Amino acid sequence: MPAIIVVGAQWGDEGKGKATDQLGTQVDYVVKFNGGNNAGHTVVVGGEKFALHLLPAGILSPTCTPVIGNGVVVDLDVLFAEIAECEARGVDTSKLKISANAHIIPSYNRLMDAVNERMLGNRKIGTTGRGIGPTYADKMNRIGIRVQDLFDESILRQKVSGALKHKNAMIQELLGHEAVVADAVVHDLLTYADRVRPMLFNVTAELNRALDRGETVVFEGGQATMLDIDHGTYPFVTSSNCTAAGACTGSGVGPRRIDRVVGVAKAYITRVGEGPFPTELLDADGEWLRERGGEYGVTTGRPRRCGWYDAVVARYATLVNSLTDIVITKLDVLTGRESIPVCVAYDVDGVRMEDMPESQSDVHHAKPVFEYLPGWTEDISDARTFQDLPVNAQAYITRLEELSGCRISAIGVGPGREQTIVRYPLI
């Protein structure tokens, strides 16, 4: 039985939650390995919509153990609010596990997010303001707070006091906010200790033993390839490694254990926040995609920037992640188009580029080279096999497969758990 990584193959919001949820009905563990509550996964089960932020999508599968790995940064307020909401709707969250090495988002880092954006001025990143970046920065600066620190008040107090010596000056000067009191932060964090203790889990040891027993583990990535801190459109990226390699560092499961890497991509493409977006549509077509696709952030409510499918991005995602499979979502959104453009290359100052440019300046100046594919008008929401799709929809998927350099194993034709065409089983 395999270890499967599920990652976003674009700029996020591709429908990874739905893909992971579907696998989660057949697997033993679903592990969130990066990011925090700066991203949301929408999953529809039995007509009910669940918006998950910190909780792994596996939380909705009764037979699955959901795990928050060491690569995640955890806002405890958000985590327990999300747990309470799920339980109020009849979801059993008692199996949730969390790594003692995961970092905690302290309240002062939400203020630091605002400080950093103000310092950048016109060069702002467009973060969600939830303290994700400052917490990852603390991790790298070795002043971060980990889950295990909740159980040693002395160490917790030292860490919080040390961090605030540097941060309070900026919080006061740039935001006009009163100084954050270390005792108040420590007291707030300690209130969670008894609630977190039963969730502690030796992620590295237990997941490797599970794989030894032949059990199936799915690693669920937050954000996406083009937002990866190393491989994305830097600096307009998130603060973690959200490509497939991040699953190993964010969980403690080595790369030789991985059997399959699944990239999730929309049948078009979207982006939230600042940064380059070669196929972005700033016209009626962009608004059409936004309204048809319900392209508003699950976490922030912000309208997403919309564009046509970018095969340059898809090929890059295939390479960076060693994708074995692609899941295409929201194919139904394109129904009704007479013609559907697909970006097959970039034009950068008169030079055709079929690979992702290394220079971010080139990405900023890239203009899409489009190929136009015939559309379809038939309702595809009830299609359950590839042959059920209209001929032009089949041709669209086949061409995306050729351009992306990876087989398309599943196709989403609606938001429901059951509205998926499986061409090649992932398990």
Q: What secondary structure letter does DSSP report for 63?
A: T
Catalytic residue list = 13, 41
Task: Decide if 290 contacts 304 (C-beta within 8 A).
Answer: yes
Cβ of 372: how many Cβ atoms within 10 Å? Answer: 11
Distance CA 332, CA 378 (A): 10
Distance of CA 256 to the CA centre of its chain: 23
Would you call 176 helix, strand, or coil by DSSP?
A: coil
Distance CA 261, CA 421 (A): 19
Handedness of CA 389, 57, 104, 300 (dihedral sign): positive
Indicate left, alpha or beta for 254 from its phi (over 0: left) and psi (-120 to 50: alpha): beta
Distance CA 98, CA 93 (A): 12
Task: Decide if 147 contacts 202 (C-beta within 8 A).
Answer: no
Distance CA 401, CA 362 (A): 26
Distance CA 111, CA 121 (A): 16
Nearest in space to 297 (alpha carbons), one of 167, 147, 81, 127: 127
Cβ of 86: how many Cβ atoms within 10 Å? Answer: 18
Nearest in space to 306 (alpha carbons), one of 331, 284, 328: 284
